[in-house]
Structure 1
Amino acid sequence: GKTTTARLLARALNYQSDDHDGPSVQLDPPGEHCEQINASSHMDVMEMDAASRTGVGDIREILDSVRYAPVSARYKIYIIDEVHMLSTAAFNALLKTLEEPPEHAKFIFATTEIRKIPITVLSRCQRFDLRRVDAGVLSEHLEKICQKEGVKIAKEGLALIARAAEGSVRDGLSLLDQAIVQADGGVEVSAEQIRTMLGLADRTRVLDLVAHAMKGDAKAALAELRTQYNDGADPSVLVRDVLEICHDLSRAKALGERAEFDAAADQIARIHALAETLSMGQITALWQMLLSAYEDVRRAPDPLAGAEMAVLRMTVAATLPPPELASQLLENLKHVTSSPNTQNTSQSTTTSSDTPASQISKSSQPSTHSPSGSQASMQAQPALLPDEAPQMRAHVEINSLAELVAGMPKSETRLKYDIRQYVRPILFERGKIIFEAAPDAPANLAPRLLNYVQDMTAQKWTISLDTNTKGTPSLMEQHKQATQKQAQYENAHPVVVRAKELFAGVEIEFRDRLPTSNVIKADFSNNEDT
């Protein structure tokens, strides 16, 4: 509408009728010059397309004629369309005339790229910014045209055309022409026909898609997406429609009943109902996700695949706790302290009466990792048995069953497993082992163990199996007991209990915090100055 507006300004400046002689914004009835200006045939109103005439020579032609007075109109008016396409030399040639124009000359510039206009030109002009026409206003304008043309088009269809025009009256009229062609024998053109013509998805079905995704129902959401695609909906347009729904949800969440929507009453009710089930954090996160997905779909080799991946991300995000609960959890955890009954001070487990406890278990300070990323330090608590104890010393001295297992090479993996699983120690001392065999133990376990320890230590050992005395738990059984004890401790910890109250089904993992040191090792043996 830039050029049309420029012609209106030319008509207003040169308006002249039997009742009025002078510039006027009231152009009804048309003046003496109005018809010729509208037809671009008036001698004193000259139009130039700067996109095709960009050089300084073209501007000089204008400057040579600007000094002459108008032939019949009040002002000589120069309309330069797409003025940002002029070259730098052309702008420089125009500056002096713009600064001191003749009284009878007026320049009207039209452009879509205001930032490309030199500031020296902008400072000498009066600027008017044309904004997009509201979809509601454009829809009413299209409806009036339909009434004059005697064409019946559903109001919802006109609203779809107005939204697709994106505020451009010219684009709206072009789409209306396409819709009028579909009118057959005076039958009303339905919104479904308009939607098919524009390649749009049904807004109600888009709401169905969003509702399925926000419930975490990936199967139903993908089925709805595929159905709409088979019906002719473009994947990128579909994702853009979902973005519009997301924006509507944010407005409904923030404004409540005061929010206004360009949609049917039942759709507005569904938007409000869906907004009630979501938090503002979820909606804003969904917007960011869809915004990234929209670009992915446009660049993807298979747009449908990109749209399906976007829907799957939506369903996964719907199953996660709202971001607002993360801050709530952090705030609540500040006031949580460990209760006395959840602390366990008995940490050690032994395999025999003379086996050092330090060879079997160790105390640790695990830290919790909640979904919000917070860590809570804990007091000493039962820890899992290590799978492997410290490596055997250089002179091959074995003081415990755990130390024996830890030093076994990979070639003895089978024997190592059998010792951990079936050997229940009764006595373990240098040169002598007495143990009880666990159920299903191999019959040759004792001879195999004897051959191995004698080969490793180069000493004589006595290894016997006692079926009458009950031994201590095997290394594997000790590990399972420690695991169960650790799980009981973790589940009873107040931080875990509180987190499960806030987030149903949350999983919390305990980890040992690695020791840190602020000592930096440096090598000063090399002198860099030499």
Structure 2
Amino acid sequence: MENFIVSARKYRPATFETVVGQQHITGTLKNAIKNNQLAQAFLFCGPRGVGKTTCARILAKTINCTSLTAEQEACGTCESCQSFQSGHSFNFHELDAASNNSVDDIRSLIEQVRIPPQAGKYKIYIIDEVHMLSTSAFNAFLKTLEEPPSYAIFILATTEKHKILPTILSRCQIFDFNRIQVDDIANHLAKIAERENIATDNDGLHIIAQKADGGLRDALSMFDQIVSYTNRNVTYQAVIANLNILDYDYYFKLTDYLTSGDVSNTLLLFNEILNNGFDGNNFINGLAGHFRNLLVGKDNQTIQLLEVSENIKQKYLAQSNGANLGFILTALNLANQCDLNYKNSKNQRLQVELALIKMCHIPSVIQLANTATDQDQDKKKL
């Protein structure tokens, strides 16, 4: 029986072309390699799971490749690429600053830097989680970072750029990695599912992508979990059950009750949601997100801000067209206010129920306001 390899490792990009959602970074690095304008020190910063260490490794492999392709990608077959991929390259050193953060660790690194490469053009040093280095270690590293030997290249990676000394930042070429777009993550998961012969549906993959909050590694971890849970059949219902997410249908149904002023069914539906084990704060945040989606669905120019699958998007557009703009804005404000007051409330359930009851009465308030306006206009005519 073969050992299982998690998707985040099995499908880790090996070339710049396969990196997901960071084209502004990979394009710049490829041009730097092509024009022989490589900096001596790079700083890759951004949220977790977006490809910082992966890009650092790809860059390390590519700049020592002896047979670069026309697209400035590593060939993967030369001696340098083979030794890198097998983990036996003497030109590549990776240091985890979380566990090697003392002055002695940096001094040991500096001693290694003095030895030129025996084969290949560059020696590359990747320091991951560099913000964990002590102030003394940073200061010990400063001079080497500013004036390294011509063959040494440093690639620093961090999730917390603000913790790095300005003197270090000034010596690095800084690359800010973006959170990966929902569509990019969903498409990447679909490609992996196809290669692994896993049945999926688009709605389910979009839910995973949204829950990952821009981190591809988180998305792949959730994907592996759900594949095991569903026995290789990733459906929308299976995803929301496994990730403990409220079904979109609850919000669509609740909005229909709210717009019709049906207080009884609104409270009964909220009770059902609580009985299913969902937290009131998560519910009200989800409802606020639902109203936000209805709001952006009102305008053709903002429809692109709906980060949902095509099937769910059509439901949002249909409900958005039937909902009053004044209702959506007022309900969104009430949901946001409830979220702010929730944690300090001694009766949290009542806090949410009061917000829902107020939302139910929004249509009647709007109607009264419209009637009063019409009467004022009639008086002016007389």
TM-score range, shorter chain: 0.7 to 0.9
Superposition RMSD in Å: 3.4
1:266 and 1:93 mapped to 2: Cα distance? 55
Of 286, 291, 295, which aligns to 1:246? 291
Segments ≥4 residues shifted beyond 6 Å: 499-502
Structural mapping, 1:511-530, within 5 Å? none
1:113 matched residue in structure 2: 160
1:315 matched residue in structure 2: 360
2:204 matched residue in structure 1: 157
1:16 matched residue in structure 2: 66
1:304 and 1:39 mapped to 2: Cα distance? 57
1:498 matched residue in structure 2: 376
Give the residue type in structure 2 aligned to 1:6. A
Is 2:246 the counterpart of 1:196?
A: no
1:80 matched residue in structure 2: 127
Structural mapping, 1:280-319, within 5 Å? 282-297=327-342, 304-319=349-364
Computing the radius of gyration from Cα coordinates, the structure with the larger value is 1
> Residues 213, 157 of structure 1: CA spacing in aligned structure 2 closer, same or farther, 3 A cutoff?
same
Q: CA deviation at 1:310?
A: 3.6
Of 43, 50, 66, which aligns to 2:97? 50
Q: CA deviation at 1:237?
A: 3.1
Is 2:223 the counterpart of 1:176?
A: yes
Of 122, 146, 152, which aligns to 1:99? 146
Q: CA deviation at 1:284?
A: 3.9
SS in 2 for 1:144: helix
Aligned length: 329
1:501 and 1:283 mapped to 2: Cα distance? 30
Of 311, 317, 320, which aligns to 1:274? 320
Segments of structure 2 that go 5 or more residues without pairing to the other structure are: 1-50
> Residues 303, 157 of structure 1: CA spacing in aligned structure 2 closer, same or farther, 3 A cutoff?
farther
> Residues 46, 271 of structure 1: CA spacing in aligned structure 2 closer, same or farther, 3 A cutoff?
same
Structural mapping, 1:134-145, within 5 Å? 134-145=181-192
> Residues 318, 111 of structure 1: CA spacing in aligned structure 2 closer, same or farther, 3 A cutoff?
farther
Q: Which moved more, 1:95-104 or 1:105-114?
A: 95-104
Q: Which moved more, 1:299-308 or 1:287-296?
A: 299-308
> Residues 228, 105 of structure 1: CA spacing in aligned structure 2 closer, same or farther, 3 A cutoff?
same
Would you say the 8 A contact 1:152–1:183 is kept in 2?
Answer: no
State the percentage of identical aligned residues.
31
> Residues 199, 39 of structure 1: CA spacing in aligned structure 2 closer, same or farther, 3 A cutoff?
farther
2:31 matched residue in structure 1: none
Give me the TM-score of the superposition, normalised by structure 2.
Answer: 0.75
Segments of structure 1 that go 5 or more residues without pairing to the other structure are: 333-496, 503-530
SS in 1 for 2:324: coil
Q: CA deviation at 1:257?
A: 8.4
2:107 matched residue in structure 1: 60
1:109 and 1:180 mapped to 2: Cα distance? 34
Q: Could you give the per-residue CA deviations for residues 457-499 of structure 1, whole angstroms, max 9, x where no partner exists?
A: xxxxxxxxxxxxxxxxxxxxxxxxxxxxxxxxxxxxxxxx629
Would you say the 8 A contact 2:91–2:117 is kept in 1?
Answer: yes
Structural mapping, 1:340-419, within 5 Å? none
Q: CA deviation at 1:154?
A: 2.1
Q: Could you give the per-residue CA deviations for residues 84-117 of structure 1, whole angstroms, max 9, x where no partner exists?
A: 1222222222222222121010110111111122
2:25 matched residue in structure 1: none
Give the residue type in structure 2 aligned to 1:52. S
SS in 2 for 1:128: strand
Q: CA deviation at 1:38?
A: 4.6
Q: CA deviation at 1:272?
A: 4.4
Of 256, 280, 291, which aligns to 1:235? 280
SS in 1 for 2:72: coil
Of 42, 47, 53, which aligns to 1:3? 53
Q: Could you give the per-residue CA deviations for residues 236-288 of structure 1, whole angstroms, max 9, x where no partner exists?
A: 33223222212212212233685463234465344444355322x55444334
> Residues 70, 59 of structure 1: CA spacing in aligned structure 2 closer, same or farther, 3 A cutoff?
same
Structural mapping, 1:315-334, within 5 Å? 315-321=360-366
Q: Could you give the per-residue CA deviations for residues 401-430 of structure 1, whole angstroms, max 9, x where no partner exists?
A: xxxxxxxxxxxxxxxxxxxxxxxxxxxxxx
2:296 and 2:364 mapped to 1: Cα distance? 23
Give me the TM-score of the superposition, normalised by structure 1.
Answer: 0.55
Q: CA deviation at 1:203?
A: 0.7
1:128 matched residue in structure 2: 175
2:246 and 2:230 mapped to 1: Cα distance? 21
Would you say the 8 A contact 2:204–2:237 is kept in 1?
Answer: yes
1:310 and 1:39 mapped to 2: Cα distance? 59
> Residues 267, 62 of structure 1: CA spacing in aligned structure 2 closer, same or farther, 3 A cutoff?
closer
Give the residue type in structure 1 aligned to 2:61. R
